[in-house]
């Protein structure tokens, strides 16, 4: 079991996201948050969208110093992909409205890249979930943005919020991945990494 095998490591989460902290805590392992300098989340224009989350999570990892010999750092990045276009965090109300209008009545991909790093090895993986939205009315989109202010969320929504409850018809893949951390796959890959 992971909780037994991981005792020798100082687990670090390289994220200030409250959702990622909550999700990692579900695995019942002790961890601390460690942040580096501000990381500019940019990627090459010609990069395949499926490679972007791992590229960014690796970049975040190498932006955070490992201080102790037993440090094990976990970083991640989640993107929303519609028609091979990456939908980042909205700049303002109108940007959020337009993103949600584009997602309405369609399916899109949510891809999270996760990266593990110690002083002597590192590895990463990706998890993809397909999300299917119903047709959202303008008033539903307006209500959500006004009440939940999803400006810190890729694609302008959080599946765990009101919009997920009323708007998401179904998903294919990990629900927690859409929240920002594919905890089941993370558990499995972490077990392999420390063995």
Q: What is the pLDDT of residues 40-67, one digit of tens each?
A: 888 888 999 999 999 999 999 999 999 9
How much is the pLDDT for 3?
73
SS3 state of residue 194: helix
The structural architecture, per CATH, of the domain 2-194 is Alpha-Beta Complex (3.90)
Phi-psi category of residue 60: left, alpha or beta, with phi > 0 → left and psi -120 to 50 → alpha = alpha
Ranges of each domain in the chain: 2-194
pLDDT of residue 166: 98
- pLDDT of residue 38 exceeding 90: no
Provide the mean pLDDT of the chain.
94
Percent of the chain surpassing pLDDT 70: 100
Higher pLDDT: 24 or 40? It is 24
With bands split at pLDDT 50, 70 and 90, how would you rate the model's confidence at 13? very high
Tens digits of residue pLDDT in 110-129: 999 999 999 999 999 999 99
Segment 78-88 mean pLDDT: 94
Q: Which region among 30-44, 83-97, 144-158 has the lowest average model confidence (pLDDT)?
A: 30-44
- Give Cα separations from 163 to 31, 98, 123, 139, 143 (angstroms): 31, 15, 34, 12, 9
CA pair distance 48, 126, nearest whole angstrom: 13
Cite the active site residues.
77
Element (H, E) at 98: helix 93-103
pLDDT-derived band at 39, boundaries 50, 70, 90: confident
Residue 195 banded pLDDT, cuts 50, 70, 90: confident
* Span 69-77, average pLDDT: 96
pLDDT for 47: 92
Q: How many whole angstroms separate alpha carbon 180 and alpha carbon 195? A: 25
Report the candidate in 4, 1, 6, 39 with the shortest Cα–Cα distance to residue 118: 6
- The percentage of the chain sitting over the pLDDT mark of 90, rounded to a whole number, equals 88
Whether 181 contacts 19, CB under 8 Å: yes
How far CA 146 is from CA of 151, 153, 187, in Å, comes to 11, 14, 36
């Amino acid at each position: 079991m992971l909780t037994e095998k991981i005792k020798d490591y100082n687990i670090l989460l390289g994220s200030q996201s409250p959702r990622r902290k909550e999700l990692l805590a579900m695995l019942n392992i002790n961890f601390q948050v460690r942040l580096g300098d501000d990381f500019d989340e940019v990627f090459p224009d010609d990069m395949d969208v499926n490679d972007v989350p791992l590229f960014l999570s690796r970049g975040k990892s190498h932006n955070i110093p490992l201080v102790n010999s037993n440090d094990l750092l976990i970083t991640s990045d989640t993107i929303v992909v519609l028609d091979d276009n990456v939908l980042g965090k909205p700049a303002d109300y109108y940007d959020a409205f337009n993103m949600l209008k584009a997602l309405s009545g369609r399916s899109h991909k949510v891809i999270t890249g996760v990266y593990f790093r110690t002083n002597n090895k590192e590895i990463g993986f990706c998890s993809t979930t397909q999300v299917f939205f119903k047709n959202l009315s303008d008033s539903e989109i307006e209500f959500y943005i006004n009440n939940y202010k999803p400006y810190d969320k890729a694609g302008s929504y959080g599946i765990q919020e009101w919009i997920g409850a009323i708007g998401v018809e179904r998903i294919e893949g990990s629900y927690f991945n859409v929240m920002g951390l594919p905890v089941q796959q993370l558990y499995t890959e972490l077990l392999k990494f420390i063995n």
